[in-house]
Amino acid sequence: MIGRLNHVAIAVPDLSAATALYRDTLGATVSDPVPQPEHGVTVVFVELPNTKIELLHPLGENSPIAAFLERNSSGGIHHVCYEVDDIIAARDRLKEQGARVLGDGEPKIGAHDKPVLFLHPKDFVGTLIELEQA
Ligand SMILES: C[C@@H](C(=O)O)C(=O)SCCNC(=O)CCNC(=O)[C@H](O)C(C)(C)COP(=O)(O)OP(=O)(O)OC[C@H]1O[C@@H](n2cnc3c(N)ncnc32)[C@H](O)[C@@H]1OP(=O)(O)O
Ligand SMILES: [Co+2]
């Protein structure tokens, strides 16, 4: 069911410092910061030849990454995003199998203008999973 790795997301305490690290030290192509108010984060995209890295920083009062950054004060890998062909079929199959789909279970439009859903990290060996419709 899951297909390509779309991105790996890293939560960071200082977005401009993390962007400079990826651009200047690691020599990657990075985007400008893109606010995603629906998701409570600001995102910088790092383009790699075979995938993307998302640098995430909290946005607004109730950011879903705030508690994670409190626990991981220097930042850390926050989620991986896998592509699926049909996000509703994937969601229904996962729910049947007992996995917890986060939020209200309805896909939101993600950073790449495609529907996304998140799966509880405790149901997937300690890793938060994002599904994105390809
Ligand atoms: C823009 C978009 C896109 O790419 O299109 C994005 O990515 S938006 C990316 C931001 N959006 C999201 O992440 C949306 C989905 N995420 C969420 O709803 C939340 O982050 C949760 C996954 C529910 C976790 O929230 P929070 O940390 O406040 O809950 P909590 O403190 O009760 O944590 C419950 C347990 O899960 C663990 N836990 C929390 N976040 C985790 C993570 N990212 N990876 C692995 N484990 C994690 C905690 O350590 C804790 O374990 P213990 O009990 O053992 O201590
Ligand atoms: Co993401």
Q: How far apart are CA 15 and CA 134, in angstroms?
A: 27
Q: What is the interface pTM, i.e. ipTM, of the complex?
A: 0.98
- 10 Å Cβ neighbour count for 73? 8
pLDDT for the residue numbered 130: 98
Residue 132 a catalytic site member: no
| Domains held by the chain: number | 1
Tell me which residue range forms the domain holding 120: 5-133
In the structure, which protein residues have their CB atom closer than 6 angstroms to any atom of ligand 1? Answer: 9, 36, 39, 41, 43, 54, 56, 64-65, 67-68, 78-79, 81, 102, 110-111, 116, 118, 121-122, 126-128, 130
- Note the pLDDT tens digit of each residue in 58-68: 999 999 999 99
- Note the pLDDT tens digit of each residue in 27-69: 999 999 999 999 999 999 999 999 999 999 999 999 999 999 9
- CATH number, residue 71: 3.10.180.10
pLDDT for the residue numbered 61: 92
User: Nearest bound ligand to CA 36?
Assistant: 1
Q: Is residue 65 within 8 Å of residue 11, measured between CB atoms?
A: yes
- Note the pLDDT tens digit of each residue in 7-17: 999 999 999 99
> How far, in Å, from the CA of 119 to the mean position of ligand 1?
9
- Note the pLDDT tens digit of each residue in 88-131: 999 999 999 999 999 999 999 999 999 999 999 999 999 999 99
Whole-model pTM? Answer: 0.98
pLDDT for the residue numbered 66: 98
Q: How far apart are CA 75 and CA 33, in angstroms?
A: 17
pLDDT for the residue numbered 88: 98
